């Protein structure tokens, strides 16, 4: 199998410092040219854009229409984030998440940071993510509701805890420029997310998401990757083996370490990804780890 090579910036984050007290914290993929079409697979560029399968954020979680699992993993799977559901026929390869409070591009960026897709694209009114791995696609859509929070002008207060602390930290991130923010604001987000990660009474899913986002921020703030790597590692340890969440955390570590020149450590983690997640061989994270190890099978 030929590896589809795309640049994946550690859980969606560029590590380069921007100077003048700013950091670049980019939360999306930058695609390379599309691979040649494969028989039986529809290209993202030719997918229909209306009349798709829908899901909404209701009662604090996304509710997706129940479809049978697509039989072929040679498809592309879409998640759209928008303010309303499209009308029309349903496409089982597409899900719509209706967000009430979050800025749509920022919410899509956050979702891509947690569950890396093949591509993050779309408009400000209708951003979308594209996956090749149906498991990662389903995991991302199921977890999206916690990301639908309103922007916050100030960092979360010290007395906040639990879900309110996570929402406050994420809302403050949403209020910052998508690409470049002041280093002090980035550090405040990392600190707040780390408090969520440290909360042993919180659900593991929330702590994992906070750890991943804290790691992303630390990678943008710090020249030394030690803190970010530790945050990604802790996040991965909170979730069960074999899950997409563990895969995303391990992949984030591998890419971070490769980016800073720690090739041997990156390859060790990437080899472990290939050993632990053969059923996710279509996932962008898996393919990125193949590139790190030099394997193409």
pTM: 0.79
- What distance in Å separates the CA atoms of residue 259 and residue 237, rounded to the nearest whole number? 22
- What distance in Å separates the CA atoms of residue 230 and residue 225, rounded to the nearest whole number? 8
Tens of pLDDT, residue by residue, the chain (297 residues)? 333 333 333 333 222 222 335 555 544 333 333 333 333 344 444 343 433 333 333 333 333 333 334 444 468 999 999 999 888 758 899 999 999 999 999 999 999 999 999 999 999 999 999 999 999 999 999 999 999 999 999 999 988 999 999 999 999 999 999 878 888 999 999 999 999 999 999 999 999 999 999 999 999 888 889 999 999 999 999 999 999 999 999 999 999 999 999 999 999 999 999 999 999 999 999 999 999 999 876
- List strands edge to edge, sheet with 180-182: 17-19, 22-24, 180-182
- What distance in Å separates the CA atoms of residue 172 and residue 142, rounded to the nearest whole number? 23
CB 232 within 8 A of CB 212: yes
CB 1 within 8 A of CB 297: yes
149-297: CATH number: 1.25.40
State which H helix or E strand residue 272 sits in: helix 263-276
CB 152 within 8 A of CB 79: no
Residue 87 has a pLDDT of 83
State which H helix or E strand residue 19 sits in: strand 17-19
DSSP annotation of 175 reads T
Q: Pick from 175, 213, 219: which is nearest to 194 by CA? A: 213
Query: Measured between alpha carbons, how far apart are the two ends of the chain, in Å?
Result: 5
Measured over the CA atoms of residue 243, residue 199, residue 156 and residue 9, the dihedral's sign is negative
Question: Whats the size of the chain, residue-wise?
Answer: 297
Q: Pick from 84, 100, 91, 96: which is nearest to 54 by CA? A: 96
Q: Pick from 281, 184, 265, 201: which is nearest to 232 by CA? A: 265
For the chain, the structural domain boundaries read 46-147, 149-297
């Amino acid at each position: 199998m030929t590896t589809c090579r795309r640049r994946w910036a550690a859980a969606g984050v560029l590590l380069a410092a921007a100077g003048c007290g700013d950091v670049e914290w980019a939360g999306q993929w930058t695609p390379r040219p599309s691979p040649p079409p494969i028989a039986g697979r529809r290209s993202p560029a030719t997918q229909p854009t209306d009349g798709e399968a829908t899901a909404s954020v209701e009662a604090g979680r996304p509710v997706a229409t129940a479809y049978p699992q697509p039989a072929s993993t040679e498809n592309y799977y879409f998640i759209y984030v928008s303010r309303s559901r499209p009308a029309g026929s349903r496409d089982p390869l597409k899900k719509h998440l209706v967000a009430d409070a979050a800025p749509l591009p920022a919410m899509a960026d956050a979702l891509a940071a947690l569950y890396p897709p093949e591509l993050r694209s779309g408009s400000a009114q209708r951003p979308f993510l594209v996956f090749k791995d149906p498991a990662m696609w389903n995991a991302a859509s199921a977890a999206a509701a916690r990301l639908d929070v309103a922007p916050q002008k100030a960092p979360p207060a010290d007395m906040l805890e639990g879900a309110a602390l996570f929402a406050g930290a994420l809302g403050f991130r949403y209020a910052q420029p998508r690409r470049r923010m002041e280093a002090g604001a980035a550090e405040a987000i990392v600190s707040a997310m780390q408090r969520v990660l440290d909360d042993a009474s919180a659900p593991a899913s929330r702590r994992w998401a906070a750890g991943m986002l804290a790691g992303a921020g630390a990678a943008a703030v710090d020249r030394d990757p030690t803190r970010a790597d530790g945050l990604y590692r802790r996040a991965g340890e909170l979730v069960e083996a074999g899950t997409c969440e563990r895969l995303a955390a391990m992949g984030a570590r591998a890419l971070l370490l490769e980016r800073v020149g720690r090739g041997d450590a990156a390859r060790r983690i990437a080899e472990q990804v290939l050993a632990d997640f053969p059923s996710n061989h279509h996932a962008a994270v898996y393919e990125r780890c193949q590139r790190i190890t030099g394997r193409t099978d």
